Copies of this chain bind each other. A is one copy, B any other.
């Protein structure tokens, strides 16, 4: 009967068509994709009406995308796929700081600031001292480590979302460690915010009874010669949404202390050491 189509051999009908000289990785990825896609359709016995809904959903997801909005990335985020790809590609030994997703709001070229400087330029929010040490797995300080940090403002928006309202580079900065590996800067205690949910992804979240919020977090990229790049957040543990991050970005080891800093010049203090993995 092969190579004609049959329900029972549908995967072979498709995958046997791949030409012999096709790139091995393309073959591997597409063969697996077809296998799992057909398994899904068979598993749920997808109806034509549901297939219509899926076609329409994917089409609308593509059509809402602009240079400013990437709904397929949001979809990947909210189905846990972005975090899974990140996890698979950034496995680290026990004790090393874990990665999490970059997110859409990183901007290259933020200003380098003196250690201890304040990155909050709009004077809003609850001040927070961020400090700690960049170390290797043996606990040795990492000198000349570059920390690129960014967060939302007290209203839950990044500067690039409000270019007419927030000062440029508000809540962003780059810091470089000295021989002691220590870093220190003042920002605000970040706040939770919703991902864009006025499109197809918002509809899906609503259909699943899920909310669009991300728990409050500070973003960090830490780079140092001889070490793997670390892209991560530290999360505010007592945030309302800490156990229901819409994009699954929270890992247990990234929930950081955010404590009242009663003796200091800021309202809050968050101490977190970044443990780097050698390349």
**Which residues of A are interface residues toward B (Cβ below 8 A)?**
1, 3-7, 10-11, 13-14, 17-23, 26, 28-30, 32-48, 50-51, 55, 58-63, 65, 70, 72-73, 76, 79-89, 91, 207-210, 243-244, 248-252, 255
> Complex Cα distance A21/B209, Å?
8
| Interface hub of A17, A22, A45 (most chain B Cβ within 10 A) | A17
Q: Are B18 and A208 in contact (CB under 8 A)?
A: yes
Return chain B residues, CB-CB under 8 Å to A55: 70, 72-73, 76
> Complex Cα distance A4/B199, Å?
26
Q: Are B22 and A80 in contact (CB under 8 A)?
A: no
Return chain B residues, CB-CB under 8 Å to A41: 81, 84-85, 88
Q: A85-B51, A209-B21 are in contact. Are A40 and B44 (CB under 8 A)?
A: no
**Considering only CB atoms, which chain B residue lies closest to A5 in the complex?**
B248
A209 vs chain B, min Cβ distance (A): 2
6 contacts between A and B (CB under 8 A): A7-B84, A10-B87, A34-B79, A41-B81, A51-B76, A61-B62
A54 vs chain B, min Cβ distance (A): 8
Q: A251 contacts which of B4, B28, B255 (Cβ < 8 Å)?
A: B4
Q: Are B5 and A81 in contact (CB under 8 A)?
A: no
> Complex Cα distance A73/B51, Å?
10
Q: A34 contacts which of B39, B59, B80, B244 (Cβ < 8 Å)?
A: B80
**Considering only CB atoms, which chain B residue lies closest to A91 in the complex?**
B7
Q: A65 contacts which of B63, B80, B81 (Cβ < 8 Å)?
A: B63
Return chain B residues, CB-CB under 8 Å to A3: 243-244
Q: A26 contacts which of B5, B58, B207 (Cβ < 8 Å)?
A: B207
Q: Are B208 and A17 in contact (CB under 8 A)?
A: yes
A48 vs chain B, min Cβ distance (A): 6
A201 vs chain B, min Cβ distance (A): 13
Q: A40-B32, A46-B88, A209-B22 are in contact. Are A65 and B72 (CB under 8 A)?
A: no
Q: A250 contacts which of B4, B28, B244 (Cβ < 8 Å)?
A: B4
Q: Are A5 and B249 in contact (CB under 8 A)?
A: yes
**Considering only CB atoms, which chain B residue lies closest to A244 in the complex?**
B17
A65 vs chain B, min Cβ distance (A): 5
Return chain B residues, CB-CB under 8 Å to A13: 80, 248
Additional A-B contact list (14), CB under 8 Å, known A5-B251, A10-B248, A48-B86: A3-B244, A5-B248, A6-B251, A10-B83, A13-B80, A19-B209, A22-B209, A29-B50, A36-B39, A38-B84, A45-B88, A51-B76, A58-B61, A62-B65
